[in-house]
Structure formats: structure tokens, C-alpha cells
Amino acid sequence: MYNNLYNNLVVIGGNASGLAAASQARRINPDLNITVLESGKYISYSTCGLPYFISGYVKRAEDLLVYPKDFFEQKRNIKILMGHIVVGMDPSKKELLISVGQAQENKIIEYDKLIISSGGTNIIPDIPGIDSSNVFQFRNVSDAENLKDYIDSNNPKKAVVIGGGAIGMLLAEAFNQIGIKTTVVERKERIYDEFEYEISTILARKAEMDGVDILTKTSITSINANSGQNTATIEDASGKKDLECDLVMLATGISANTGFLTDTSIELGINGAIKVDNKLQSSHMNIYASGDCATIKNIVTGKQDYIPTANNAVKTGRIAGENAAGGNKVFNGSVGTVVDKVLDLEIASTGIGSKEAVSLGYDAIKLIDGFSSHAGSVPGAKKIAIIIIVDTTSRRLLGAQMIGGEGVGKRIDVFATAITNEMTVDDIYMLDLSYAPAISTVWDPVNKICGKAVLALDKHNR
């Protein structure tokens, strides 16, 4: 517990990171007045579960709400103000300008210390027709409810998803499951472009096999619903053509949601994210930031990065909350671990990819191989493809990526732990990983691919 040097802690954002921050501040300092300001009508929701509400796997949006407002107010003595949008601030006066409710009434709220956990915001492409009523974005419960209402009332038959990253593919899967014929339009060379070529190719093939069309090196140039047509115009190297669609989903990436800080001197970094140090403190002493609106240290590159994941949001929130309440904890950073389940395939990544390794000046090698998720003696084993990136000089693992039918999540976490602790492939090769025939093989695929790397390095360095 810390002494009270001040009294009034305000948190902007009532989801993963903001509530982790407020809760930790309360745990260590029972005397603080803690207020969370949330612009929307929901707090504490599972953003990551929202695609399952669209596919119908999760029946009600309420099922994705984690803790109710009363829980924070009564059990944690944290005041929650919903419908409170922070529209500006004056750090010199420690004041926030708030717009409240539908009436958009303005009010000022003062703070002694502030934690900004305002998340990310969707990047909206500037194309004609983007404001049509059949165009949707997807970041929160209200977005999911709007989309679901539209689907239930309009029974769309064809959808275009703009953007072939994780969110786009999760929604393409959800649409496919409820019988909406879906085309993913991706302007880059491939979907899941932040993954190695081999991994994203396996996913693209699976998508096509499952009936989701993938168009790469293709851009949307207009959405034509406003002019009465249910089409979107796309353009690739061969020219322009119209695609039929009654629903357009935007999944064109996010940036940090920091627009309301534009007139302040709070320093912003990569992707508009609030620059923070390893204590989650911003360029202003009394202001902390966490989650998708803040920069994060990449443990592998040592640089400030933007890694908007829920796993990072809750941890950075916890540290920001502790420090804003008087603590002195350090957040060491992230290795960028992500895992998704798309079209019955688990796909995961941690550390850096081969291109990044080269651009950072590593003499790196990339190894790829296929494995069985568990022993052949027990039916039902699935294939897993693993790629690892290894520094030939230090023999350290720099990155790992995987795709497969099962057992990917378990294994990516081993790689994440190894990268965080700067382990060499020699160490990981002999790591004591669990075995039972229904779960793994006696040499786990993690051991095996690192064994392969050891052989390659020995040859390379001979």
C-alpha cells in the first residue's frame, strides 16, 4: 500500500486496459477516489469474442460482457461514468473536457493523476460511398449489435470484407458460417501479410477451400449503395470491375485512439500512440497510458512499437494503475505474441519475422517444417507447420510462427517464453516439454524444429 500524495485518479476508457488499471490502483491504494470515463454504453466486454456473436456461436451480446458496472462500483469502489466522451484536455490545469450523453452537454472533470486507456480506432479508407448504410466497422459491442441487426433484418447474401488481416478474416469466417458468400479484398500481395509467406498461403488456400474468395493486390475504389446499386467497385492490375455485395465490412487496420490529444503537448509516437516509458508514464509526469492507445517496447528489437493485443492491454493497464497510484513497477515489454483461430486453423506468431530480422542486421536463417500435433498411434492428429527465425551468430531464437489444426497455442507460448528469455535453439532443442500420445509427440515439434536449426547452424558455422 502507498501513501496518499494526491486523491483523484481518473481513467479514460472502460475496457480491458482501463479497468485493469483502475482495479490495480484500487488494490494497492484503498483511499484514492477513482473514476473511469467511458464514452460508450458498455464497459468490460470481450472484444475478442465479438466475431462469435456474428456467427451465432455466442447467442447474446450480453454474454460477452465480463463484469457489470455494479461490480466495479460496489466491490471495488470505482466510479464508472458511461456516455462520457473525453473530447479535449488541458494538462497544465489537469482538466478534461467531456461531452456527456446524447445531448452532448459539456463538462470539465479534474484529475490529480490520469491514465489514458482509450484503445484503438479503425482506419477508415477515403473512398466514395464509405458512408453507405450497408458499410460496417467492428471494434466494440455497439458495432457488433449494429452489424447483427442489419444481418437479421436485411438477410444479406453477399459480403465484401476490405482487409485480409486478423479481424477481416475472423469476420469473413463468421459471415461464411451464416451462409453469406464472402469475398476478402486485400490490396497487399497476400492476406495475413505480417506472417511469413508460407503461413499466409496455407490460410488463403483453406479460405478458398471453405468457399471464401480472396482477392489480393486488389483495392476497393467505391461502394455504390448510395447510388442504388448493391455493388462495390474493385481495381486490380487488369482494371476495374463491380462486385455484387449487400454488406461491406471495413477491416483496414487500426491506429491509436488519441485524436482528443491533438491540441496538447503529450508526445505521440508510432501509429499515433502515446509515447510511454517502461513505467507507462507519458511525457507528462501525472499522465500514464496503457493498452492499444500507447506505445510498447518490443523486447526483440528493443524499439518502441505498436502491438495492440488484449494480452498487452491488461498487463500494461495493471502496471499503469499501480504506478499512477504511487507504485514503481516496470513493464519489460512484449515479444508480440498473437494467436487466432480462423477457419478451423490455429495461426500464431511471436518475435520477429525474417524480413524484419534482415532489416535489423541479423545474419538470420529461416527454417520451416511440418509436424504432427500428437502421436500417430492416437487417431485425430492434425498437421502443424512451424517456421522459426534464428540468429546464426548468437544462435538465439528471434521469431516463430505456426499454423495448424490443433496444439498451436500451447507451442507458441513456449516459443514466446524462450524468446523473452533470449534462449538459444540449442537450449530449446533439449527443453523438457511434456509428452503423452494424445497431446504431443515424444520429441515435441518445438524441440524438433530447434533440433533442425542446431544441425543447420552447425553446418553454417563449420
In the bound complex, what is the minimum distance in angstroms from residue 215's beta carbon to ligand FAD? 22
In the bound complex, what is the minimum distance in angstroms from residue 451's beta carbon to ligand FAD? 30
Interacting stretch for ligand FAD, rule CB under 6 A, among 13-21, 125-133, 266-274, 447-455?
13-21
Rule CB under 6 A: which of 85-104 touch ligand FAD? 85-86
Per-residue burial over 320-336, b if 16 or more Cβ lie within 10 Å, else e, is bbbbbbbbeeebebbbb
Determine if 310 is a binding residue for ligand FAD (CB under 6 A). Answer: yes
Choice between 309 and 440, CB closer to ligand FAD? 309
Determine if 256 is a binding residue for ligand FAD (CB under 6 A). Answer: no
Interacting stretch for ligand FAD, rule CB under 6 A, among 10-18, 151-159, 200-208, 391-399?
10-18
- All three cell numbers of 147, joined, read 452489424
Determine if 173 is a binding residue for ligand FAD (CB under 6 A). Answer: no
Residues paired with 36 in a beta bridge: 11, 80
Choice between 191 and 381, CB closer to ligand FAD? 191
Determine if 118 is a binding residue for ligand FAD (CB under 6 A). Answer: yes
Judged by CB under 6 A, which of 25, 78, 119, 406 binds ligand FAD? Answer: 119
Judged by CB under 6 A, which of 308, 353, 407, 445 binds ligand FAD? Answer: 308
Judged by CB under 6 A, which of 139, 315, 374, 410 binds ligand FAD? Answer: 139
115/30 Cα distance (integer angstroms):
17
117/108 Cα distance (integer angstroms):
19
Interacting stretch for ligand FAD, rule CB under 6 A, among 136-144, 200-208, 328-336, 446-454?
136-144
- All three cell numbers of 34, joined, read 477513482
300/351 Cα distance (integer angstroms):
6
Judged by CB under 6 A, which of 292, 305, 356, 391 binds ligand FAD? Answer: 292
Determine if 249 is a binding residue for ligand FAD (CB under 6 A). Answer: no
Rule CB under 6 A: which of 22-81 touch ligand FAD? 37-40, 47-48, 50-51
- Report how many residues bind ligand FAD under the rule CB under 6 A: 34
Determine if 272 is a binding residue for ligand FAD (CB under 6 A). Answer: no
In the bound complex, what is the minimum distance in angstroms from residue 412's beta carbon to ligand FAD? 12
In the bound complex, what is the minimum distance in angstroms from residue 107's beta carbon to ligand FAD? 13
Pairing outcome for strands 287-289 and 296-297: unpaired
Determine if 117 is a binding residue for ligand FAD (CB under 6 A). Answer: yes
Determine if 315 is a binding residue for ligand FAD (CB under 6 A). Answer: no
Determine if 291 is a binding residue for ligand FAD (CB under 6 A). Answer: yes
Choice between 308 and 326, CB closer to ligand FAD? 308
Where does this chain bind ligand FAD (CB under 6 A)?
12-18, 37-40, 47-48, 50-51, 85-86, 117-120, 138-140, 167, 257, 260, 291-292, 308-311, 313
